[in-house]
Amino acid sequence: MTTIHEVHADGNEIRGEIEYDFLIPILYHGQMRQVPQTNTRRFCLEVKSTAIGSLVVFETGQQTVAEKLNRILFGNDEAIRAGKISPEKLRAFIEANAQVEFWVWWKNLKIPFLSKAALRGTDLAQASDYQRYDKLGQKYYAIIKLKKRGWTISISEDAAVLLFSTSVADEESFLGFLRNEIEPLVK
């Protein structure tokens, strides 16, 4: 069952909570049973004239929320689509905004027998492997600390941004950050 609660519309924005059930298989006395679990996710959907602008889900489960909202609001799976950030724009964003890179993933490495790699630590940019991977591959996911805000976020080529510093940012300032600094990167 899927329901939407606490719906508020303000200008070109719709906010609310979506609640949906799914089954989890568990082993009970030697037999597999299906146990229902309910997830509740807060969302903010921006609508621009006749198109969907962006969907922000304030917890994990963005893909599931997008699928359910598509079916409920639009009757299809086409209205809300996943965004992408090009490797060039993602790299430029990280270079311009990261005070510290804690964890970085690369793909499409032009290194024999190695197509993906990841490094983590507090002094990544000084590592020789970092320089090599950066030169021979594309960043597709990173966990960074932002210079201006001091927030720790993850950002991916799939335009998924997670805020780890929840104690220092409120929902409105995070939404403003997403709209002003992340949305322009998304294609």
pLDDT digits 0-9 by tens, 42-77 = 888 887 766 667 788 877 777 888 888 888 887 877
What is the C-alpha to C-alpha distance for residues 22 and 3, in angstroms, rounded to an integer? 13
State residue 47's pLDDT score.
Answer: 77
β-bridge mates for residue 23, sequence order: 36
pTM for the model: 0.78
State residue 50's pLDDT score.
Answer: 62
- Residue numbers in the chain where pLDDT is lower than 50: none
Using DSSP's 3-state secondary structure scheme, residue 185 falls into helix
The total of other beta-carbon atoms located within 10 Å of residue 154's CB is 15
Name the residue type at position 100: V
pLDDT by residue (tens digit) across 124-143? 888 889 999 999 999 999 99
The total of other beta-carbon atoms located within 10 Å of residue 111's CB is 12
